[in-house]
């Protein structure tokens, strides 16, 4: 069987789904594309709107490729990791890419990544491979900022640090088997299950390779609004305990810095959702983990997390 499966979770965002599907339809890659959308128990009106969006794109045929769209439904809201597991089970084609409803690809993403995959496979034919890419980070109401994915380093350590190599599924393209071999997403993680998925892939011998071009190939529409700081911190704690041996491999100070960053991230989410009392609580915990790092942060940026 030939072609690419694009795996797309959706929940109550038909406008975002439209944006994402439009970016898939504009790809320059000439192979057949199948989009699998799993609606995670959206409200009746948003479910109908999402179906209408999918129907419009089902009739889409470009000069470059065939576009097929399959839509599956969770009867109730099950959460992102459950939905991504449904998507894993729905894979039919030999290659896979991910795209969250509400984010978008630039037109040359898939073609460029297939070229990068061919080059990587020629060098490492027996190794499980994912191809990532640079991307634009677009805060709601802000300007685009290009972020680079650095794969030329200890990838497991880089993922644990989360600054120069980030665990974003929508940056990836790879053989279906390279995703399936990781297993299912951890359903205890309503947030950050993609980080756990990346860590498991690399820790089990997989490798992330770069697309080979410096241009951004996709854009992440980012907002902290409505995201629960306690949930983010709890998911970070699960990942830390689950992979404690990997953290400890890099020393006590490395682990303490990761715990500090976890508190600072939770503080950012709380602050950006106007829960300032909770933000102060997380900032205090961060200070206790790494006082000097916290004071440097305050001098550089003020009290904003």
pLDDT for residue 4 is more than 50: yes
Average pLDDT over residues 175-199: 97
Domains, the chain: 4-222 (3.90.550.10), 229-301 (no CATH)
Percent of all residues in the chain with a pLDDT value above 90, rounded to a whole number: 73
pLDDT for residue 145 is more than 90: yes
pLDDT for residue 292 is more than 90: no
**Whole-prediction pTM:** 0.91
What pLDDT score was predicted for residue 183? 98
Q: List beta partners, residue 96.
A: 5, 174
pLDDT for residue 218 is more than 70: yes
As a whole number of angstroms, the distance between CA 117 and CA 172 comes to: 11
Average pLDDT over residues 176-186: 98
* 3-class SS shares of the chain: helix, strand, coil, % to 5: 45, 20, 35
User: Cβ distance 191 to 227 under 8 Å?
Assistant: yes
What pLDDT score was predicted for residue 1? 47
What pLDDT score was predicted for residue 225? 60
Phi-psi region of 9 (alpha: psi -120 to 50; beta: other; left: phi over 0): beta
What pLDDT score was predicted for residue 302? 61
User: Cβ distance 219 to 147 under 8 Å?
Assistant: no
Residue 291: which pLDDT band, with cuts at 50, 70 and 90? Answer: confident
pLDDT for residue 305 is more than 50: no
Residue identified by tokens 């004071």 is 295
Q: What is the pLDDT of residues 51-65, one digit of tens each?
A: 999 999 986 655 445
pLDDT for residue 226 is more than 60: no
């Amino acid at each position: 069987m030939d072609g690419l499966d694009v795996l797309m979770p959706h929940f109550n965002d038909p406008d975002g789904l439209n944006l994402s599907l439009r970016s898939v339809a504009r790809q320059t890659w000439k192979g057949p594309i199948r989009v699998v959308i799993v609606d995670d128990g959206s409200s009746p009106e948003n479910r109908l709107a999402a179906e209408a969006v999918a129907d419009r794109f089902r009739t889409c045929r470009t000069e470059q490729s065939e576009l097929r769209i399959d839509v599956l439904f969770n009867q109730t809201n099950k959460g992102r990791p459950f939905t991504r597991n449904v998507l894993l089970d729905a894979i039919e084609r030999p290659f896979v890419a991910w795209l969250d409803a509400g984010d978008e690809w630039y037109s040359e993403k898939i073609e460029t990544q297939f070229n990068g995959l061919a080059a990587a496979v020629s060098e490492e034919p027996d190794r499980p491979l994912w191809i990532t890419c640079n991307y634009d980070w677009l805060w709601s109401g802000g300007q685009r900022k290009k972020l680079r994915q650095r794969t030329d380093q200890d990838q497991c350590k880089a993922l644990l640090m989360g600054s120069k190599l980030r665990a974003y599924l929508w940056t990836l393209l790879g053989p279906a088997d390279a995703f399936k071999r990781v297993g299912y997403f951890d359903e205890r993680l309503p947030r950050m299950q993609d980080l756990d998925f990346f860590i498991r892939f690399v820790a089990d011998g997989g490798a992330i390779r770069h697309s080979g071009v410096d241009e951004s190939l996709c854009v992440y529409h980012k907002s902290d609004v409505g995201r629960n700081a306690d949930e983010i911190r709890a998911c970070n704690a699960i990942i830390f305990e689950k992979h404690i041996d990997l953290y400890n491999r890099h020393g006590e100070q490395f682990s303490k810095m990761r715990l500090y960053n976890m508190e600072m991230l939770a503080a950012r989410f709380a602050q950006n959702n106007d829960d300032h009392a909770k933000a102060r609580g997380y900032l205090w915990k961060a200070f206790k983990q790494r006082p000097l790092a916290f004071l440097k942060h305050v001098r550089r940026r003020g009290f904003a997390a």
